[in-house]
Structure 1
Amino acid sequence: MTMQNSTPTSDAPAEAKIHFDHVRAVFDLKGEPFVALDDFDLTIGANEFVTVVGPSGCGKSTAMNAAAGLLAPTAGTVRVDGQPVTAPGPERGVIFQQYALFPWLTVRQNVEFGLELMHMPKSRRREISDRMLALTGLEGFADALPKNLSGGMKQRCAIARAYAVNPSILLMDEPFGALDALTRVRMQEQLLDTWAQEKRTVMFITHDVDEAVYLANRVIVMAARPGRIHRIIDVDLPYPRTEEIRLSTRFTELRNEVWNAVYHQHPAISKGSQQ
């Protein structure tokens, strides 16, 4: 199989789950306009796993925050299931690098937090949290406080909490960035396991090229300042992803392709213009 490169189109197909329609984001930086995103145009399909990589400051997190409804674009539109995003919503679970667990709540209480806000009966909350804890391998830590968990366990708890409210979309911003290498690999495998069992559309931001290739159906490579799409690289590796795949020649080829696209961009692309 050969790797395909494509550019997004402005018209979102019927099966689009998330569609960025020529999104532009401009912020005030010390009295001067800073263009974080410029003509960002991307369609992510239902149940697709997309990773986004690019130089530091290229607008990866800005794009995710726009999809989450945490910021409004200066121009353009983000749509989920064809509807404009104007605020956060329960169909979008957001997971950050910092875990964002409530330290005074147990693992189970953290997982059930969103369900309680939905006024779900206690018996139903317990049923769902039991399933999410088992799915993420935390069933033996339901009564533990976050301070007693390792970094990987805290992140699994954050994933379980996001899954519990049954979102159709997971937006993940460097969720494994603070973990050691071995824990990070295990968390990648755990995430793919849960994704295979509980299909979701995933937009996953990362600085790690190996991680981007290992997880994704497609890797979105962004250009720096102002942030826009430089290349889209299809990952033709089969699921489930295994250690054998990670060590394969094809994985190395794809990894090198993404690496070159990220770190060897033409200066005119990486500098861009802020008009």
Structure 2
Amino acid sequence: MTELQPKISFQHVSKKFGDGLKSFIALNDLSLDIADGEIITVVGPSGCGKSTAMNIVAGLIDASAGQCRVSGNSVKGPGPDRGVIFQQYALFPWLTVLKNVEFGLKLQGMGREERRKRALHYLELVGLKEFADAYPKTLSGGMKQRCAIARAYAVDPSVLLMDEPFGALDALTRVKLQDQLLETWAKDKRTVMFITHDVDEAVYIAHRVVVLAARPGRLQEIIDVDLPFPRNEEIRLSREFAAIRNRVWRAVYDQ
């Protein structure tokens, strides 16, 4: 039986910033394969290279050594196959919610009617269709992040890269968006690489939790999350969840 090609592959990837005495290694010899349709969460102490790894996949920075591949192709820069969502929503304040979601589609040359139809579809998916004509300043933090998610989904990326996307939100909104992400994933099974400092969040949404160690950033441990989908509050409060959470916690903080 032929082994399936990973969707994302880090092959001995390292990243060094600066020169001479001021240089430092942010990521050291990372090898990791992420399957098509898999949700991977990445945790670890500050300075362990979580965002560096994601930015390499996104094509925003180049690796100093090794190779990163997406769908078997070496990453040479940003591309429409990878949607990126940061903690800061980066919405255009002068555009409506609908126009923000349409923005990437317009850059792709999609016609007005088609891009409006697609944008409204993804706004409905994240529960924002009724706010299509609103401007970002009128939205709550959670609504802005859902708009950013809809915009990333609209360009139809096969990979979704999320760097602390819910980190600035209140606890209740954060939990709701975790469930929203999993509901959306269940419909299209995109590959997700999700960076977080929240261990509960890391366990709740993932198939596997990747733990990185700092100084220099390197792979510490990969922990399988053997919990069924769809996830719900019952699973979040289960003994099985607590056992995995405690294992991840020890891997992160007992370094």
The bucket for the TM-score relative to the shorter chain is over 0.9
Q: Which residue of 1 aligns with 2:241?
A: 251
Aligned to 1:36, the other structure's residue is in SS state strand
CA distance in 1 between partners of 2:183 and 2:19 (Å): 41
Q: Which residue of 2 aligns with 1:123?
A: 113
Q: Which residue of 1 aligns with 2:103?
A: 113
Residue-by-residue CA offset, 1:112-142 (whole Å, 9 max, x unaligned) = 0000001101111111011101100001100
Residue-by-residue CA offset, 1:137-158 (whole Å, 9 max, x unaligned) = 0011000000000000000000
Matched, 1:154 2:144: yes
Matched, 1:18 2:8: yes
Residue-by-residue CA offset, 1:153-211 (whole Å, 9 max, x unaligned) = 00000000000000000000000000000100001000111111122000000000000
Q: Which residue of 2 aligns with 1:9?
A: none
Q: Which residue of 1 aligns with 2:86?
A: 96
Equivalent residue pairs, number: 253
CA distance in 2 between partners of 1:153 and 1:101 (Å): 11
CA distance in 1 between partners of 2:19 and 2:211 (Å): 25
Aligned to 2:234, the other structure's residue is in SS state helix
The Cα shift of 1:29 comes to 7.0
Gaps of 5+ in 1: 1-12, 266-275
Amino acid at match of 2:210: I
CA distance in 1 between partners of 2:49 and 2:109 (Å): 36
Contact 2:16–2:26 (Cα < 8 Å) also in 1: yes
Of the structure 1 ranges 25-34 and 82-91, higher mean CA displacement relative to structure 2 is found in 25-34
Q: After the TM superposition, list the runs of 4 or more consecutive aligned residues in structure 1 that deviate by more than 4 angstroms.
A: none
Q: Which residue of 1 aligns with 2:171?
A: 181
Matched, 1:209 2:209: no
The Cα shift of 1:14 comes to 3.5
Please give the residue correspondences for 1:211-250 in structure 2 after superposition, counting only pairs within 5 Å: 211-250=201-240
CA distance in 2 between partners of 1:146 and 1:223 (Å): 37
Contact 2:5–2:72 (Cα < 8 Å) also in 1: no
Please provide the CA RMSD for this pair.
Answer: 1.0
Q: Which residue of 1 aligns with 2:254?
A: 264
Q: Which residue of 2 aligns with 1:75?
A: 65
TM-score (structure 2 length as normaliser): 0.98
Identity percentage over the alignment? 66
CA distance in 2 between partners of 1:108 and 1:198 (Å): 21
Matched, 1:64 2:35: no
Residue-by-residue CA offset, 1:215-245 (whole Å, 9 max, x unaligned) = 0000000011111110000000100000000
Aligned to 2:219, the other structure's residue is in SS state strand
CA distance in 2 between partners of 1:198 and 1:131 (Å): 13
Aligned to 2:215, the other structure's residue is in SS state coil
Contact 2:41–2:206 (Cα < 8 Å) also in 1: yes
CA distance in 2 between partners of 1:244 and 1:156 (Å): 24
Q: Which residue of 2 aligns with 1:137?
A: 127
